[in-house]
């Protein structure tokens, strides 16, 4: 009997991207049992767009912050597995199927996969580096009896979520996905890594101001540091590298023309791409 998948999507002002996200869900080789979009006080047409898709249940969460929106959706989910992604993410067509396959192993309580990048120059380089790093991180963190999860591409068994939901942290400066992984591991649940689970993201955070970008990048290592975990040492080198390369990454993102599917300096000069509001920002 196939495990039922509830897919939860916390959203804040994603009117330009949410339709693409939901269209990808509608085209899955295996449709999820339910799709829950949690609107976290959006000021644009995000909620209206979600309502246009008949298979979507739209919930509201008045407490501002992605962790609160996640909680609202996870607590409402009725499936055996709670999947999680973001409103600007495009799931691979077999994502739900791969998620079910990962949880066919009864020893797995939570899992996350890898990402492919879109709308950025040198895409292939970003894809390779990111995937190799996640493979490395999954192996090293697991060797310490600790764990990591990536919010745009993850799933957790509903009983496991219910066992830790009273302990998870809600401080804005902490990455809520990694925090959830930490609490699951501390409670004795097994967190795995499934490279077959793939999603596509645009690195919109790169267009943020340096202060906001750095705060976002360091919200991950901060989780491990504040919980006193040894895995923090594996996060610092990548955080330092990404922080130092903010300028070039921003240029590669702003200079990518999605219509022509190529990068050019001239396009970067006139590009008006907007940064995604950071989940660790004080602006939301």
- The dihedral region occupied by 97, where left means phi > 0, alpha psi between -120 and 50, and beta the remainder, is alpha
For residue 9, the cross-strand partners are 37
For the whole model, what pTM was predicted?
A: 0.95
Q: What is the pLDDT of residue 139?
A: 92
The count of other CB atoms within 10 Å of the CB of residue 208 is 21
CB 109 within 8 A of CB 160: yes
Q: What is the pLDDT of residue 282?
A: 61
Secondary structure letter of residue 2 according to DSSP = P
pLDDT at 277: 78
Give the H/E segment covering residue 186. Answer: helix 176-186
Give per-residue pLDDT as tens, 218-276.
999 999 999 999 999 999 999 999 999 999 999 999 999 988 999 998 888 877 777 77
Please list the ranges in the chain whose pLDDT falls under 70: 1, 281-284
The rounded distance, in Å, linking the Cα atoms of 109 and 92 is 22
- Per-residue pLDDT at 237: 93
Structure confidence at residue 258 (pLDDT):
87
pLDDT score, position 276 = 78
CA nearest 153: which of 185, 197, 190?
197
Task: Give the integer Cα–Cα distance in Å for 90 and 226.
Answer: 32
- Spatial separation of the C-alpha atoms in residues 73 and 37, rounded to whole Å: 7
pLDDT at 283: 55
- Looking from the CA of 93 toward its CB, the CA atoms found within 13 Å total 2
């Amino acid at each position: 009997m196939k495990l039922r998948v509830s897919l939860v999507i916390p959203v804040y002002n994603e009117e330009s991207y949410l339709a693409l996200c939901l269209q990808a869900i509608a085209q899955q080789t295996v449709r999820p049992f339910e799709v829950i979009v949690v609107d976290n006080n959006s000021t644009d047409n995000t909620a209206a767009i979600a309502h246009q898709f008949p298979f979507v249940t739209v919930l509201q969460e008045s407490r501002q912050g992605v962790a609160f929106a996640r909680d609202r959706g996870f607590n409402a989910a009725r499936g055996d597995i709670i999947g999680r992604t973001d409103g600007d993410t495009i799931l691979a067509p077999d994502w739900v199927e791969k998620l079910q396959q990962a949880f066919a192993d009864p020893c797995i309580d939570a899992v996350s996969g890898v990402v492919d990048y879109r709308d950025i120059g040198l895409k292939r380089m970003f894809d390779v580096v990111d995937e190799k790093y996640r493979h490395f991180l999954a192996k090293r963190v697991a060797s310490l009896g600790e764990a990591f999860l990536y919010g745009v591409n993850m799933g957790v068994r509903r009983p496991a979520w219910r066992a830790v939901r009273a302990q998870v942290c809600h401080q804005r400066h902490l990455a809520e996905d990694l925090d959830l992984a930490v609490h699951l591991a501390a409670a004795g649940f097994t967190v795995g890594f499934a490279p077959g689970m793939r999603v596509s993201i645009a690195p919109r955070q790169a267009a943020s101001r340096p202060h906001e970008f750095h705060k976002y990048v360091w919200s991950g290592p901060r989780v491990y540091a504040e919980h006193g975990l040894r895995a923090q040492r594996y996060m610092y080198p990548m955080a330092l590298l990404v922080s130092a390369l903010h300028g070039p990454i921003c240029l590669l993102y702003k200079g990518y023309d999605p219509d022509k599917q190529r990068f050019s300096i001239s396009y970067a000069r006139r590009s008006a791409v907007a940064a995604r509001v950071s989940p660790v920002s004080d602006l939301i």
